[in-house]
Chain A
């Protein structure tokens, strides 16, 4: 056991020495790993932030039916109550609408300059979840044929679209992660191959005088693992920096829509997952490069 620790300690100290002896090469490689890792992490954080907002929105499609002043509310209510496509029907008289608006804006005398309440009566309809979008459009058209109906607004259609866009984003993220993971394995494999080439003589002599394959492999694996973890940290740093730089502008945009919203910064879980992933991918690249090289010795 002591022997085993000694061999690993030796490999680790040599690896750290080698990394510190070539600071520029090390930093360049860390930057590459960091950039590669920051891209999917940034995309992930964007999606979770936007997804968090979307989750708070009503996902059941809502229709708001604005009525003309002469509309027959009673008949319409009876008709809507019979419609199987609707889960809920709520009548909002124009006085209630005005009160809601006043409390939202914070002003008690909106009617100050007006002779009467300009808001229309309205029905807020919630369709059943399983009603397809095409059926909702038909319902909208039906309602418009009623002489008492002024306009119909499909309220939550955009929320559904947002949800679909986020789902698309998640798929895109998977593709990006997959491609960049392959890139990371190749980049690290190549970097380790270069390290092997500069130490080819040492490897040859070591093999000739009785080094096991693991003895040869160990420093390269340590090198890849250390660079993977540091590169992962760099990636989180890059993503956090980019988000911190973007957030004031994002906040202003969201405020213009009356929503408090900021992109999330990477937390400890993201940090751990990114570092573990980059470490494993770098290890895989190193393992492959060393395996290829060691194959040539008996």
Chain B
């Protein structure tokens, strides 16, 4: 249990709760359930692409194209709905689009050997251009109204979509806990060669990670279109950087191998909450980015400081222990080098 309290996810969760409570002293309206539900609701898009991003970063990759993938998937989703396909088919089309786009990244990174940031930066341009080409640069409107039902229908006063994403998150969390193969993501990210020597199929693992990033971006597109009811050209613009910020904030290291799905969930919630808090504090929205950047910077630097202090303490403790052992052993003339 104490491991949970020491985790970065928990630290950021505390910061999140602390921030909301602090703002509530200025403006009580923050604590109204409807506000909190709204924060939850508007974090869904970022949360989903952040979860996808998490898989990639766990394996020590990075995917800056997830926002653009969400954009293309949203366009396909909109086309499918406007063409009269039933909702489940349209959803499948959006997910498939995302998956395919993710697999393209995966092929470039895993089989050609292009550095992830280069590959996905390239596909960022390609997917974003593709989105404009497909739509001729105009928004997709007149999407059947029934899609909004997903976002508007409420169960226990919480939108259906929030329930849907919550179930998805819990299912993924359980799967990541129960399926041993999901640990391959961590192994590959922590030490690629080591994982390979352990017999892990590192290529397949990295391939799946990039594909999942695409798949979740496709899911995010469904949420996005469901919530606003049309597809603007800006869909997913700049969200890839926010998604990276969210997972890093939540404790996923870009050096791979650390973090969990809760990193993505809490990070996305935090960044979304920051935007809402600004409104309640009556700070102009133009400062949103500055605050998000400052928080991210503070958290990663703080995390570094904590890690270094812990490391230092560990080393001092060990030095003291060694010294004790040495003095105890000295009369017998035994070296204590073997201890570690």
> Are A and B co-members of a single complex?
no
